[in-house]
């Protein structure tokens, strides 16, 4: 009975951790629609507000590992829950722009620590044959959290100061997570009473040999220093190569930017009215949820390597297809925030200075995936804009493609939507009918890309990272790789315009396809299969020289 209770509570902690992460990433898109009016936010201030979460998360990935290793995973989750409660309260009660930025940074710090601690804690709490399912539950939580944020953005869009409710509602799942973790035991790796826990069924180690190894583990693991990650001791350098390779390929296959093209692709296949765009946006989120559930079901059956490689192959084919079709049928380029706000622009910001959200029928806050058409080819594209954008799909665990842009251009967006609605095809002068088939191929490719990411890189990267390091350095190693993940996401987003200028839109997608092929080769050569093995067996497998 106790083992079942612990299993259920571990699942709850994992799911809620992911749910909060996804919710906080998604909710800003709708909140900013109101915040820009209530606080008269310029484009730059909106970018700062969106980037604040990224900065907080980066800070957390630098110090969070020490907290997780030295004070235990359970305590790290408790602390991150408390910090998140504080951040949510700051946001809910904020009266100034500075208050909002501090609140978002606090929230970013908390969700980053929580994301690392949850994955590691759950991977150590459960039996080898359940580990894939329960760690992948975190990724499923993220996708559900994002869909939930879309829905709440929509519900509170017309409510006066609705953004306070949006930010405040994060308090409920955070409090639930805090209470759930209170009933779970201290992380077993930190216990000296390994044997009694194994007998209680708390940790179902596979055989007596594992139990003996596990009993010895706390003593032999305590001596790892951070620099051991780069040494040959216990093959740590190879483990670090695997961890960094996975997080970097996860980003360099183009995930942050491909999703940002959702709106353009939806418009090109004819999703021009607001309601159909909402439907397409939610549809993309729903595809991601379904794909993540498939990954959960197969993580412990098919194995991590198989899902990673299969996902990479499909992603490579999808982005290559998008690249080739865009050679023949170029996608229309939307205007940038600053370009559109230019007084000479036909639909300028100044024409709709402080229109209340309720009177903006053409733009829905539920459109982070679609109203967020990218505009990197626009004249006023600034590096700071892409800094903010980097946040959108950061951790790359999310479908919040470019959520930051919906908000930034909501007022222009309204005028733009009306224009698009009245002019028929989304790009003037293009042979609309001829390109319809190609546009549908592009749309299906993007859906395949989202599904493949959610089956492979999305959940599996974090699952493998929580398994391959020895217990004594697991927190710091996970945090180290995590910081590279945030940094790579930022780099991909910042270099986007330069890439477009240098090699063109289709060339960039073909480059992502090439990176996908390289990722498959990397996984085949370096990433071991860890399904069905206890964490101790995984450690032994790595410690043997290869």
Nearest to 393 by CA among 369, 373, 365: 369
What is the model's pLDDT at position 544? 75
Residues 6+ apart with CB under 8 A from 16: 141, 173, 174, 176, 177, 180
- pLDDT at position 370 over 80: no
User: Could you tell me if residue 309 is left (phi over 0), alpha (psi between -120 and 50 degrees) or otherwise beta?
Assistant: alpha
Q: Are the CB atoms for 117 and 78 separated by under 8 Å? A: no
Asked if residue 170 has pLDDT above 60, the reply is: yes
pLDDT, tens digit, for every residue of 394-406? 434 444 444 444 4
Lowest mean pLDDT among 96-110, 157-171, 387-401, 526-540: 387-401
Asked whether residue 408 carries a pLDDT value surpassing 80, the answer given is no
Tens-digit pLDDT profile for residues 314-327? 999 999 998 898 88
Collapsing DSSP to helix, strand or coil, 373 comes out as: coil
252: pLDDT strictly greater than 70: yes
Range with the poorest average pLDDT among 17-31, 249-263, 342-356, 446-460: 342-356
Q: How far apart are CA 106 and CA 109, in angstroms?
A: 5
Supply angle C-alpha 172, 177, 181, rounded to 5.
Answer: 155
- Span 185-202, pLDDT tens digits: 875 543 333 333 443 444
Residue 174 has pLDDT above 60, yes or no: yes
Of these ranges, 61-70, 100-109, 388-397, 402-411, the one predicted with the greatest mean pLDDT is 100-109
* 436-451 mean pLDDT: 86
Tens of pLDDT, residue by residue over 223-244, are 688 888 888 888 888 899 999 9
Question: How far apart are the C-alpha atoms of 397 and 405, rounded to whole Å?
Answer: 19
Q: For residue 139, which of 121, 167, 110, 118 has the smallest C-alpha distance?
A: 118
Tokens 């915040």 -> residue: 35
Question: pLDDT tens across 291-311, in order?
Answer: 999 998 888 889 899 999 999
| Beta carbons of 20 and 114 less than 8 angstroms apart | yes
pLDDT tens string 483-541: 998 888 777 776 776 777 788 878 888 999 999 999 999 999 999 888 888 888 888 88
d(CA 44, CA 42): 5
DSSP assigned state of 452: H
CB distance 475 to 369 below 8 Å: no
Q: Cα(463)–Cα(515) distance, rounded to whole angstroms?
A: 22
């Amino acid at each position: 009975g106790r083992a079942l209770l612990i299993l259920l509570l571990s699942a709850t902690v994992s799911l809620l951790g992911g749910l909060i992460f996804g919710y906080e990433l998604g909710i800003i898109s709708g909140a900013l629609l109101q915040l820009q009016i209530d606080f008269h936010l310029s484009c730059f201030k909106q970018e700062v507000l969106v980037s604040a979460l990224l900065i907080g998360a980066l800070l957390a990935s630098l110090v969070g590992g020490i907290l997780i290793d030295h004070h235990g995973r359970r305590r790290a989750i408790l602390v991150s829950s408390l910090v998140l409660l504080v951040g949510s309260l700051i946001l809910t009660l904020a009266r100034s722009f500075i208050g909002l930025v501090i609140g978002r940074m606090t929230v970013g710090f908390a969700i980053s620590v929580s994301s690392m601690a949850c994955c590691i804690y759950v991977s150590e709490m459960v039996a080898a044959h359940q580990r894939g399912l329960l760690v992948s539950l975190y990724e499923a939580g993220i996708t559900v959290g994002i869909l939930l944020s879309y829905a709440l953005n929509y519900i509170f869009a017309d409510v006066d100061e609705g953004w306070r409710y949006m930010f405040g509602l994060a308090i409920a799942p955070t409090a639930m997570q805090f209470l759930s973790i209170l009933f779970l035991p201290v992380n077993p790796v930190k216990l000296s009473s390994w044997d009694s826990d194994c007998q209680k069924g708390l940790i179902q180690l596979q055989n007596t040999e594992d139990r003996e190894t596990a009993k010895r583990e706390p003593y032999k693991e305590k001596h790892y220093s951070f620099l051991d990650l780069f040494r040959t001791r216990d093959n740590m350098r190879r483990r670090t190569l695997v961890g960094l390779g996975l997080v970097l390929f996860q980003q360099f296959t183009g995930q942050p930017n491909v999703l940002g093209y959702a709106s353009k692709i939806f418009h090109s296949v004819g999703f021009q009215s607001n309601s159909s765009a909402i439907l397409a946006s939610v549809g993309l989120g729903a595809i991601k949820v379904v794909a993540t559930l498939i990954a959960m079901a197969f993580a412990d059956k098919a194995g991590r390597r198989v899902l990673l490689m299969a996902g990479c192959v499909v992603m490579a084919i999808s982005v290559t297809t998008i690249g080739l079709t865009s050679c023949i049928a170029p996608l229309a380029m939307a205007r940038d925030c600053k370009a559109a706000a230019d007084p000479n622009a036909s639909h300028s910001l100044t024409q709709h200075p402080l229109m209340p959200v309720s009177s903006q029928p053409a733009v829905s806050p539920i459109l982070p995936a679609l109203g967020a058409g990218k505009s990197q080819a626009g004249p006023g594209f600034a590096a700071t804009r892409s800094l903010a954008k980097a946040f959108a799909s950061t951790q790359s665990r999310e479908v919040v493609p470019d959520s930051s842009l919906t908000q930034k251009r909501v007022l222009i967006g309204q005028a733009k939507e009306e224009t698009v609605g009245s002019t028929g095809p989304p790009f003037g002068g293009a042979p609309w009918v001829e390109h319809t088939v190609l546009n549908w191929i592009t749309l299906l490719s993007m859906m395949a890309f989202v599904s493949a990411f959610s089956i492979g890189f999305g959940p599996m990267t974090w699952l493998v990272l929580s398994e391959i390091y020895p217990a004594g350095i697991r927190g710091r190693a996970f945090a180290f790789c995590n910081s590279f993940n945030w940094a790579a996401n930022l780099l991909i987003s910042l270099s986007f315009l330069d890439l477009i200028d240098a090699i063109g839109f289709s060339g960039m997608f073909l480059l992502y396809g090439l990176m996908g092929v390289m990722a498959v080769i990397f996984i085949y050569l370096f990433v071991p299969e860890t399904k069905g093995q206890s964490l101790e067996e995984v450690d032994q497998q790595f410690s043997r020289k290869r």
